[in-house]
Every structure is written in C-alpha cells, then in structure tokens.
C-alpha cells in the first residue's frame, strides 16, 4: 500500500512538472511564398513531350503563339528540349522572335536550360527566315 501511494505521488509530481514545461522554438520569419502557375493544357502537353496531344490540339485550332504563364509554346518546347514538338510548332508558324514576360526568346530559354538540340533547331530556323 505504501509503495502504491509513493508511486502515485511521484507520478503526480512528474505530471504536474511536465504540464508547466515550455517548449522552446524559434521563428525564422513570417515569410511564405506561393506561386500559382496557370499553364494551359497545350503547354503542359509540350512540357511533358506528349506530341500526340499537341498534334490534336493544333488540329483543333490551338494558337501556336498564345502565351501561357508568360511564355509561348515554342519557349516551353525549347526549355524542355522537345525537339520534335519544336519542329512541329515552327512548321505551324510559331514566332521564334517573340519575347516572354521576362523578355526572353525561345533561343534564350534553350540556352539557359542547356537544351542544345533545341537551340540548334531554333538557330537553323532563324537563318532560313
């Protein structure tokens, strides 16, 4: 009986002691950043390399020069080195000299992202015009 009372008293003291304990934490700052991208399905298909969907969307009248989140479809093709899609877009009349909202061309995006094949295709197409 004594052991039970002593054990209960120790447990009670321990629980009271931990109830008043404070956790230490630090705050780095109240900075939160959320960027919501509004990329249309045409440009998403280009980024993924889904050429069949790209062809279907073009045949249904998708504009090959319409910006999505500040970039044209050829910029997405150049950025992700989607050479087959890039050639298709050029064939369909994509403007290679258009500038993004960041004042960059498709060639700039290809160069920035190391897409050497796409950059070569763009340079060759620009020479022909």
Q: Is 77:86 a contact under the CB 8 Å cutoff? A: yes
What confidence score (pLDDT) does residue 39 get? 87
| Interatomic CA distance for residues 115 and 118, integer angstroms | 5
Pinpoint the alpha helices (H) of the chain.
Answer: 2-19, 41-48, 51-59, 73-79, 83-91, 106-112, 116-128
For the chain, 129 residues long, give each residue's pLDDT as a single digit of tens: 666 666 566 665 655 555 554 555 555 566 666 555 688 999 999 999 999 999 999 999 999 999 999 999 999 999 999 999 999 999 999 999 999 999 999 999 999 999 999 999 999 999 987
Which residue, 75, 68, 59, is CA-closest to 108?
Answer: 75
What confidence score (pLDDT) does residue 128 get? 86
Answer yes or no: CATH 1.25.40.20 is held by domain 38-128.
yes
pTM of the complete model beyond 0.75: no
What confidence score (pLDDT) does residue 117 get? 97
What confidence score (pLDDT) does residue 59 get? 96
Nearest-10 Cα torsion for 19, 22, 23, 29: 140
What confidence score (pLDDT) does residue 38 get? 82
């Amino acid at each position: 009986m004594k052991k039970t009372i002593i054990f209960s008293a120790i447990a009670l003291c321990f629980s009271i002691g931990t109830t008043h304990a404070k956790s230490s934490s630090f705050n780095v700052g109240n900075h939160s950043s959320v960027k919501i991208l509004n990329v249309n399905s045409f440009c998403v298909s280009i980024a993924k390399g889904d050429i069949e969907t790209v062809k279907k969307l073009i045949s249904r009248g998708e504009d090959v020069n319409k910006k999505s989140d500040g970039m044209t479809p050829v910029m997405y093709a150049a950025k992700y080195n989607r050479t087959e899609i890039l050639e298709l877009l050029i064939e369909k009349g994509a403007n290679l000299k258009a500038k993004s909202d960041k004042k960059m061309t498709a060639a700039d995006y290809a160069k920035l992202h190391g897409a050497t094949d796409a950059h070569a295709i763009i340079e060759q197409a620009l020479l022909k015009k």
